[in-house]
């Protein structure tokens, strides 16, 4: 089994990310699997200098040691371009010059502006205009069984339309890069937050087109604060404090519905994690999408 944690270097690790990292770590280690660290740093405008280092230090401080060397997506641009070209040759992708404004106007409130109606499929690209690349999604039904959230069936054309694989600013789209890296790193178990579940059908579709194996998916709940907002960099979630990692892990295990004995509250972090690996029961989180945190 090979799992991975793939944060974006857009700030220090906050509690919500640490929660997902811990779940992925336990899922891998409880099966004697590998757990890799990858820095998803393609969205250059959003990257914050020093974040990749601070993420590594935080994981180390919490005893979440990864295997092998760290992968950086920004070092794989040529590989992504190779696969973009492959799809282009197969006429599965096409350039799109639509602006956000055009898509909103076109939708006229009847259609969600994020569901692309294929406007540029049969339109010549004006010279010198910036364009995104979109992938064709005709008649594609994607079904999958999530290990925590159950069975899902998506109609790609109706629910997403032709989606972007390379953005107008030349940045490779998140779901495209992720599919390729997971394949290159032979990742066969993906543990991540429930907020990414809706990305899954797009990724499975890309895996199918590129002839890749589809990994097992496990979408764990997201943590919300007392007001019900997801902890994220956008909501200014505070970076986790490194002063008492054992206590934080103990609390996070509670939010993962695991039940560490109270005696372990003061135990060294390695001992607490050993207990958690030996007793990891992801089934206790079944069908839970959100947990709220009040510490
Ligand atoms: Zn277009």
18-33 pLDDT, tens digit each: 999 999 999 999 999 9
CA 227 centroid distance within chain = 24
Q: Worst-scoring range by mean pLDDT, 109-123, 144-158, 250-264?
A: 109-123
* C-alpha 91 to ligand 1 mean position (Å): 16
* C-alpha 181 to ligand 1 mean position (Å): 27
- What integer pLDDT is reported at residue 99 of this predicted model? 86
* C-alpha 135 to ligand 1 mean position (Å): 11
* C-alpha 199 to ligand 1 mean position (Å): 21
Measure the CA–CA gap between 261 and 121, rounded to whole angstroms: 59
* C-alpha 121 to ligand 1 mean position (Å): 7
* C-alpha 133 to ligand 1 mean position (Å): 9
Q: Are residues 141 and 195 in the same domain?
A: no
Q: Is the pLDDT of residue 199 over 90?
A: yes
**Count of the separate structural domains present in the chain:** 2
- What integer pLDDT is reported at residue 236 of this predicted model? 52
**Where does the pLDDT of residue 117 fall: very low under 50, low under 70, confident under 90, or very high at 90 and above?**
confident
* C-alpha 103 to ligand 1 mean position (Å): 8
* C-alpha 123 to ligand 1 mean position (Å): 8
* C-alpha 137 to ligand 1 mean position (Å): 14
Q: Are residues 190 and 65 in the same domain?
A: yes
**Where does the pLDDT of residue 113 fall: very low under 50, low under 70, confident under 90, or very high at 90 and above?**
confident
Residue where one domain finishes, among candidates 126, 143, 175: 175
| DSSP-assigned states of every residue in the chain | -EEEE---SSSS-BHHHHHHHHHHHHHHHTTT-EEEEEE----GGG--TTHHHHHHHHHHHTT-PPSSPPEEGGGGHHHHHHHHHHHHHTT-EEEE---HHHHHHHHTTTS-TTSB--GGGG-PPPTT---EEEE--TT-EEEEEETTTEEEEEEHHHHTBSEEEE-TTSPBPHHHHHHHHHHHTT--EEEEEGGGGGGHHHHHHHHHHHTPPPPEEEEEPEEE-TTSPBPSTTTTPPBPPSS-HHHHHHHHHHHTT----GGGGGS-HHHHHHHHHHH--GGGGTT--EEE---
* C-alpha 144 to ligand 1 mean position (Å): 29
Question: Span 135-150, mean pLDDT?
Answer: 94
Q: Are residues 235 and 277 in the same domain?
A: yes
Q: Is the pLDDT of residue 243 over 80?
A: no
* C-alpha 127 to ligand 1 mean position (Å): 14
DSSP β-bridge partners for residue 222: 290
Task: Confirm if 130 and 96 have CB atoms less than 8 A apart.
Answer: no
* C-alpha 102 to ligand 1 mean position (Å): 9
**Domain with 106 in it: what CATH number?**
3.90.800.10
Q: Are residues 147 and 97 in the same domain?
A: yes
Render pLDDT for 203-221 as a digit per residue (tens, 0 to 9): 999 999 999 999 999 999 9
Residue where one domain finishes, among candidates 175, 204, 219: 175
Task: Return mean pLDDT, the chain.
Answer: 92
Q: Are residues 205 and 130 in the same domain?
A: no
* C-alpha 97 to ligand 1 mean position (Å): 5
Q: Are residues 103 and 61 in the same domain?
A: no
* pTM exceeds 0.85, yes or no: yes
Q: Are residues 67 and 140 in the same domain?
A: no
* C-alpha 78 to ligand 1 mean position (Å): 25
Own/partner long-range contacts of 206-213 (Cβ < 8 Å, ≥24 apart)? 206/135, 206/165, 206/175, 206/176, 206/179, 207/179, 207/183, 209/87, 209/92, 209/135, 210/83, 210/86, 210/87, 210/179, 210/180, 210/183, 212/179, 212/182, 212/183, 213/183, 213/188
Residue where one domain finishes, among candidates 124, 153, 175: 175
Q: Are residues 195 and 220 in the same domain?
A: yes
Q: Are residues 55 and 93 in the same domain?
A: no
**Where does the pLDDT of residue 109 fall: very low under 50, low under 70, confident under 90, or very high at 90 and above?**
low
| DSSP-assigned states of every residue in 64-109 | -PPSSPPEEGGGGHHHHHHHHHHHHHTT-EEEE---HHHHHHHHTT
Is the pLDDT higher at 95 or at 108? 95
**Domain with 41 in it: what CATH number?**
3.40.50.620
Q: Is the pLDDT of residue 89 over 60?
A: yes
> Around ion ligand 1, which residues have CB less than 5 A away?
96, 98, 119-120
* C-alpha 157 to ligand 1 mean position (Å): 15
Q: Are residues 192 and 284 in the same domain?
A: yes
Q: Are residues 186 and 286 in the same domain?
A: yes
- What integer pLDDT is reported at residue 234 of this predicted model? 56
- What integer pLDDT is reported at residue 237 of this predicted model? 57
* C-alpha 119 to ligand 1 mean position (Å): 5
- What integer pLDDT is reported at residue 226 of this predicted model? 78
Pick from 130, 126, 136: which is nearest to 171 by CA?
130
- What integer pLDDT is reported at residue 232 of this predicted model? 65
Q: Is the pLDDT of residue 233 over 70?
A: no
* C-alpha 118 to ligand 1 mean position (Å): 7
* C-alpha 164 to ligand 1 mean position (Å): 10
Q: Are residues 190 and 287 in the same domain?
A: yes
Q: Worst-scoring range by mean pLDDT, 76-80, 89-93, 97-101, 104-108?
A: 104-108
- What integer pLDDT is reported at residue 122 of this predicted model? 87
Question: Span 181-193, mean pLDDT?
Answer: 97
* C-alpha 120 to ligand 1 mean position (Å): 4
* C-alpha 98 to ligand 1 mean position (Å): 4
Question: Span 224-242, mean pLDDT?
Answer: 69
Tell me which residue range forms the domain holding 156: 77-175
């Amino acid at each position: 089994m090979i799992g991975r944690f793939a944060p974006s270097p857009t700030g220090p690790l906050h509690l919500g990310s640490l929660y997902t990292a811990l779940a992925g770590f336990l899922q891998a280690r409880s099966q004697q699997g590998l757990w890799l660290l990858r820095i998803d740093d393609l969205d250059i405008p959003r990257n914050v200098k020093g974040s990749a280092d601070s993420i590594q230090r935080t994981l180390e401080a919490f005893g979440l040691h990864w295997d092998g060397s760290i992968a950086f997506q920004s070092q794989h641009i040529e590989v992504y371009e190779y696969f973009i070209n492959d799809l282009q040759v197969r006429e599965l992708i096409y350039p799109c010059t639509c602006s956000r404004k055009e898509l909103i106007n076109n939708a006229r409130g009847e259609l969600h502006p994020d569901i692309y109606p294929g406007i540029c499929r049969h339109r010549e690209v004006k010279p010198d205009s910036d364009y995104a690349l979109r992938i064709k999604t005709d008649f594609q039904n994607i079904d999958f069984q999530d290990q925590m959230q159950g069975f899902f069936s998506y109609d790609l054309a109706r629910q997403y339309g032709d989606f972007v694989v390379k953005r107008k600013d030349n940045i490779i789209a998140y779901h495209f890069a992720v599919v390729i890296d997971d394949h290159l790193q032979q990742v066969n178990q993906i543990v991540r937050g429930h907020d990414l579940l809706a990305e899954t059908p797009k990724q499975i579709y890309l895996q199918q087109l590129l002839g890749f194996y589809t990994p097992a998916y496990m979408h764990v709940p997201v943590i919300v604060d007392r007001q019900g907002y997801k902890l994220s960099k956008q909501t200014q979630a505070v970076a986790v404090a490194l002063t008492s990692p054992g206590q934080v892990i103990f609390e996070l295990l509670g939010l993962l519905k695991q039940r560490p004995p109270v005696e372990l509250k003061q135990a060294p972090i390695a001992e607490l994690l050993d207990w958690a690996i030996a007793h990891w029961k992801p089934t206790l989180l079944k069908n839970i999408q959100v947990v709220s945190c009040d510490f």
